[in-house]
Structure 1
Amino acid sequence: MPLQAGHPVSHGTIGIMQPTPQAVSAAGIGAIAVAVFAATAVRALVPLGAVEFDPSVRAESPRANTASRPMTTEDQPRELIIPNLGIGAAIEPVGVTPKGAMAAPASFRDVGWYRYGPAPGQEGSAVIAGHVDNALGLSGVFKRLDELEREDDIVIRADGGKTLVFRVTEIRTVPLDEVPAERVFDTAGEPRLVLITCAGRWLRDRSTYDQRLLVFATLR
């Protein structure tokens, strides 16, 4: 579903102008999606796709960030670290694309945090997406994400110097059209972290992979 007229929108995977939270919520009603780069040298010039969520799991009403504590600049996540995988990546705030997809980070070495949802440490799910590879087939930041195991640590460092440690509780690979959107973007409950990247087989006709790898973690 396109965003409502009059709202600034993102162009490509990185927004020239970030949309308002209201526009994001409206997009979530129709089809909020997770866009993660996934390509090889063969498809270097092919636009990279977004995961269109099944409308049956869309939100029933528009919802902005409902975190119990307003986010401050000190809460904004700055760095993601996964010690067991040797991952250390800068965190870039991202919004949505004109098609209602969660925008991807500009660099395949960085990760994108969904800025209109909870920040890590707030109530609900903080959503972070990363590339599995880039248009030249080089390994992305989440290339080895499927090697994570339950109980592994994921560390988030915020601008204010605060460090949060999350414990991996679940790792799932789901079909492209069956991503549980309500769970992934849930804004209620204990502080959680959701990592997302592409997996599976490349779909040439849709310019994306046929699966998504989801990692769920809770705050230690």
Structure 2
Amino acid sequence: MRAARRTENWRPEGKRRLRIRDPRAAAFSALLAVLGATITAIGLRTDDALPPPALAWESVPAPSLPPRTKPAKRLHPSTPDRLDIPAIGVHTAITAIGLRDDGTLDTPPLRSDAPAGWYRGSPTPGEPGPAIIVGHVDTARDGPAVFFRLRELKAGDTFSVRRTDRSVARFRVVKVASYPKKAFPSAEVYGDTPGPSLRLITCGGSFDRDRGSYRSNIVVFAALIP
């Protein structure tokens, strides 16, 4: 992603009451309003515009995962430490990120070699609910970053997340979508899901030179492989 000197908050339109399935999900859902309302700026690069030095990032909408015909596989909690996406050549460490004092989502360091960031307020990959992993697309100084090719993923592609207990959670892409930042549906992206799921998020779309940010976000929706 490009160097982001100013941030923009995620301000999704509207909120929807979520059904909480367990205490951990309840705690996570309590943060949806914060995440849906605000998030830190991250610069991203697209193929339809060359961004200037300062970029900003926000999140993207997501469809519901398909209904399951059998009980979903689930893993016990374990912090993720590595992400491997062979289809786009991503092999990166994962760092845990939280919220800043102003309630916005923190991000990994703004470098092309920075790792992806797992939001520790979300489930760990493999637990019920949506785990959230974000990453930069590039920086003005160094060029392409960890999620530069994220938009190239397709439904059916598989990837894995290694966890600190040495277990590996494998996921299959359900959908890849680009959404205008002004219409980001936080309830669908961050809301409860029938089984373990994962969202990979970065920026995309055309670049708004006046605002110094991209107009859209790329979201990859994935489900745990049973």
**What residue number does 1:149 align with?**
154
CA spacing shift, 1:70–1:160, aligned 2, 3 Å: closer
1:36 equivalent in alignment to 2:42: yes
Q: Which residue of 2 aligns with 1:4?
A: none
Q: Deviations over 1:45-75 (max 9, x none)?
A: x3x4242889xxxxxxxxxxxxx9984xxx0
Q: Does structure 1 residue 178 correspond to structure 2 residue 187?
A: no
Q: Give the structure, 1 or 2, with the largest relative contact order (CA under 8 Å, sep 6 or more).
A: 2
Structure-2-length-normalised TM-score: 0.70
Q: How does 1:152-167 map to 2 (within 5 A)?
A: 152-167=157-172
Match of residue 94 from structure 2: 91
Deviation at 1:32, TM superposition (A): 3.3
CA distance in structure 2 between the aligned counterparts of 1:161 and 1:79, rounded to whole angstroms: 10
Report matched runs for 1:62-77 at 5 Å. Answer: 71=77, 75-77=78-80
Aligned-pair CA distance for 1:152? 0.5
Distance (whole Å) between structure 2 residues aligned to residue 142 and residue 173 of structure 1? 14
> What are the within-5 Å matches in structure 2 for residues 122-133 of structure 1?
122-133=127-138
Deviation at 1:191, TM superposition (A): 0.3
What's the Cα RMSD here? 3.0
> Aligned letter for 1:108?
S
Cα gap change, 1:173 to 1:52, in 2 (>3 Å): closer
Contact 2:134 2:201 in 1 (8 A): yes
Residue 111 of structure 1 deviates from its aligned partner by 0.6
The corresponding residue for 1:60 is: none
CA separation in 1, counterparts of 2:208 and 2:101? 22
Give % identity: 33
Inter-CA distance 162–213: structure 2 relative to 1 (3 Å threshold): same
1:201 is the counterpart of 2:206? yes
Query: Structure 1 residue 42: deviation in Å?
Result: 6.4
Residue aligning to 2:67: none
Q: Distance in 2 between matches of 1:168 and 1:52?
A: 18
Displacement of 1:204 in angstroms is 3.0
Q: Deviations over 1:132-175 (max 9, x none)?
A: 11122510111111111111112100111011110001111100
Contact 1:157 1:163 in 2 (8 A): yes
